[in-house]
Amino acid sequence: MGKMSVNLCGIELSNPVIPASGTFGYGYEFAELYDINILGTFSFKGTTREARFGNPTPRIAECRAGLINAIGLQNPGVDRVIAEELPKLKKVFHKPVMANVSGFSLEEYVEVCSRLDREEQVGWLEVNISCPNVKKGGASFGMTPEGAAAVTKAVKAVTKKPCIMKLTPNVTDIVSIAKACEDAGADGVSLINTMYGMRIDLKTKRPVIANRMGGYSGPATFPVALRMVYQVYAAVKIPIVGIGGVSTAEDVVEMMLAGATAVGVGAANCVEPFACRNIVEDLPRVMDKYGIENLSDIIGGAQ
């Protein structure tokens, strides 16, 4: 065990840094830039049963400290992910990968999770019950404790690998939803997905995003995400992947002090392709600066 290693649901990560789903594709764009095996793992692009194009463009709007996206789960569908993306990934990434799964019905979550559960390369299933950019399914399951528990139960019944439920911040009480996931058998939770947001173009006086609204991410969301991780940590025993506006090694340490076992990095990858590499390389310096011997010791340290 190295000083930066953490244990996420029974699988050791060499460090807690995990590029978040939707900002890292299936890995190759970044594998051309640096050796992505330096990452703890990464969560690949949200995968559904059928191939999806997603929403019309424009799908992106800039904000002062972040961006809004409304991609709408563009992905090649689970068949091609297994037949094409995973074999390609195997050549450049030699660690267990986190498989991000989305669905529009319980049956779809069950089918996609059970298919990916059989893949040797997959270490964890990250079950997205929080996509803000699709009308049915997606976030609606994650909006209530009952919906979140129903998906958790259904996927746990058909999988052997750890299931991490990805939660939306666009709810009244994220703690009750995290607890419902835990009670239904979830092995972990990841939070937060993006926050509902929008921008309006002053010239056209219309929303910038074709879908009108989208999910806001970036540095401005960090304090909100940190607060939610802090609250959820106090209420559940399962590990948390803390996500939201993380851009630096200091942010990683702060997120872990709030209660995260591992830390997702999302929007930062879109503006700085080397963001995750830079964070991993900078972590030892930051640990040293703040007198941290082992990262795993600080999880929830601020509680």
Partner 1 sequence: MKQEKLTVLSNRPLTKGVYEMKLAGDTSAFSRPGQFLNIALEGFYLRRPISVCDLDGDTITILYKVVGHGTEAMSAYGPGKELDILCGLGNGYDTSKSGQNPLLIGGGVGIPPLYGLAKALVAEGKHVTAILGFNTAEEIFYENEFRSLGADCIVATADGSAGVRGFVTDALPDNYSYFYTCGPEPMLKAVYRASKTSGQFSFEERMGCGFGACMGCSCKTVTGYKRICREGPVLEKEEILWEK
- In the complex, the residues that contact partner 1 under the rule CB under 8 A are 22-25, 29-30, 32-33, 45, 53-54, 56-67, 69, 71, 74, 208, 218-219, 267, 269-274
HSE-CB at 255 with a 13 A cutoff on CA atoms is 31
Q: For residues 45 and 156, which CB has a smaller minimum distance to partner 1 in the complex?
A: 45
The pair of structure tokens assigned to 67 is 């961006």
> CA-CA distance, 300 to 231, in Å (whole number)?
10
| Catalytic residue list contains 131 | yes
Q: For residues 273 and 300, which CB has a smaller minimum distance to partner 1 in the complex?
A: 273
Shortest approach of partner 1 to residue 56 CB, angstroms?
Answer: 7
Question: Given CA atoms 190, 191, 196, 199 in this order, what sign does their dihedral have?
Answer: negative
Shortest approach of partner 1 to residue 256 CB, angstroms?
Answer: 25
Shortest approach of partner 1 to residue 58 CB, angstroms?
Answer: 4
Q: For residues 66 and 147, which CB has a smaller minimum distance to partner 1 in the complex?
A: 66
Pair 263, 242: CB distance under 8 Å? yes
Biggest alpha carbon distance in the chain?
Answer: 56
> CA-CA distance, 287 to 127, in Å (whole number)?
31
Shortest approach of partner 1 to residue 203 CB, angstroms?
Answer: 9
Q: For residues 38 and 143, which CB has a smaller minimum distance to partner 1 in the complex?
A: 38
Closest to 107 measured CA to CA, from 133, 135, 86, 137:
137
Pair 241, 263: CB distance under 8 Å? yes
Pair 139, 129: CB distance under 8 Å? yes
Q: For residues 97 and 236, which CB has a smaller minimum distance to partner 1 in the complex?
A: 97
Residue with tokens 């940590």: 233
- Between CA 68 and CA 248, with CA 40 as vertex, the angle to 5 degrees is 50
Return the DSSP state at 184.
T
Shortest approach of partner 1 to residue 150 CB, angstroms?
Answer: 29
Residue with tokens 């929403």: 55
Shortest approach of partner 1 to residue 8 CB, angstroms?
Answer: 23
Q: For residues 49 and 59, which CB has a smaller minimum distance to partner 1 in the complex?
A: 59
List 113, 131, 181, 276, catalytic entry: 131
Closest to 165 measured CA to CA, from 119, 232, 107:
232
Closest to 25 measured CA to CA, from 109, 108, 107, 84:
84
- Cite the active site residues: 131
